[in-house]
């Protein structure tokens, strides 16, 4: 008889069987610099690891923005819904294995005053080796660039961590197409850090989306990103 898969393999295989494009794992210590109230143990005191689940979204409606804003929003919403389902089902699997697990929503709900989520999916994804930050403050994956959405699971399960990636998919300031493409100038004067990201002007971004775009997602910084599938 063949060797039974480890819990780590079981979790990753399960998430991918439900439709996840990428799955990575990081110990919570790599998120030690997260703000107070947004650290894994704030939500699960026995937390040991974080699972980052990525799902690629359709490129075509993004490439044709802004004409295809509604079509991009459809792809965005479907991806978030699917991620939430995968995360919840994977958390349920971990509970069946005898561990605690909490799925963090892919998008809303979030703190609409501070404009932050409970846990930073992007920082978890980078810590779990799925990609690195680009100049647009999005996570760029080696294969899918910035055409991805993320969800996170906090768990007490003892899982095998992945190593952070050392491969940048972003050309940084010598490109800057995303900075120039932002209609709200929310990416202006960036300080580039592919490991930690940087603080964009969230207020400008949020105001543009909810006043100029009527609450629709924007996506122009994703469109401008030159990272592409390899």
Cβ-contact 20, 55 below 8 angstroms: yes
User: 116: which strand partners?
Assistant: 111
0.75 exceeded by the pTM? yes
| pLDDT of 19 higher than 60 | yes
DSSP 8-state symbol, 190: -
Q: How far is CA 178 from the centre of its chain?
A: 18
Mean pLDDT of the chain: 87
Give backbone dihedrals phi and psi of 200, rounded to 5 degrees, phi first: -75, 170
pLDDT at 108: 67
Kindly list the distances between the CA atom of residue 76 and the CA atoms of 55, 83, 150, in Å, as whole numbers in the listed order.
Answer: 10, 11, 11
pLDDT tens by residue, 54-110: 999 999 999 999 899 889 999 999 999 999 999 999 999 999 999 999 999 998 656
Q: How far is CA 204 from the centre of its chain?
A: 21
Instruction: Look at 171 and 30; give whichever has higher pLDDT.
Output: 30
pLDDT at 113: 60
Quick check: helix, strand or coil at residue 72?
helix
Cβ-contact 17, 9 below 8 angstroms: no
Kindly list the distances between the CA atom of residue 90 and the CA atoms of 17, 102, 122, 145, 159, in Å, as whole numbers in the listed order.
Answer: 10, 9, 19, 25, 13
Give the range among 101-105, 111-115, 161-165, 210-214 with minimum mean pLDDT. 111-115
Cβ-contact 204, 186 below 8 angstroms: yes
pLDDT at 230: 41
pLDDT at 116: 67
Distance CA 98, CA 87 (A): 17
Instruction: Look at 68 and 216; give whichever has higher pLDDT.
Output: 68
Residues 6+ apart with CB under 8 A from 63: 223
Query: What HEC string does 40-62 produce?
Result: HHHHCCCCCEEEEEEEECCCHHH
∠ CA 177-179-185 to the nearest 5 degrees? 145
């Amino acid at each position: 008889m063949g060797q039974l898969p480890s819990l780590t393999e079981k979790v990753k295989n399960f998430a991918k069987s439900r439709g996840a494009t990428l799955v990575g794992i990081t110990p919570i210590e790599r998120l030690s610099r997260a703000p107070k109230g947004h650290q894994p143990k704030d939500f699960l005191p026995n937390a040991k690891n974080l699972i980052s689940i990525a799902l690629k979204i359709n490129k075509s409606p993004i490439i044709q923005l802004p004409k295809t804003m509604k079509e991009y929003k459809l792809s965005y919403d479907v991806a978030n819904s699917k991620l939430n389902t995968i995360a919840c089902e994977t958390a349920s699997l971990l509970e069946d294995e005898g561990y605690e697990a909490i799925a963090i929503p892919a998008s809303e709900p979030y703190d609409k005053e501070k404009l932050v989520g409970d846990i930073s999916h992007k920082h978890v994804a980078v810590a779990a080796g799925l990609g690195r930050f680009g100049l647009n403050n999005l996570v760029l994956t080696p294969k899918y660039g910035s055409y991805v959405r993320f969800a996170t699971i906090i768990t007490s399960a003892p899982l095998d961590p992945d190593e952070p990636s050392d491969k940048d998919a972003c050309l940084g300031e010598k490109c800057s197409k995303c900075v120039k493409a932002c209609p709200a100038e929310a990416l202006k004067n960036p300080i580039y850090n592919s490991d930690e990201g940087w603080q964009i002007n969230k207020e400008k971004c949020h105001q543009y989306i909810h006043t100029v775009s009527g609450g629709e997602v924007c996506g122009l910084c994703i469109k401008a990103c030159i990272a592409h599938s390899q």
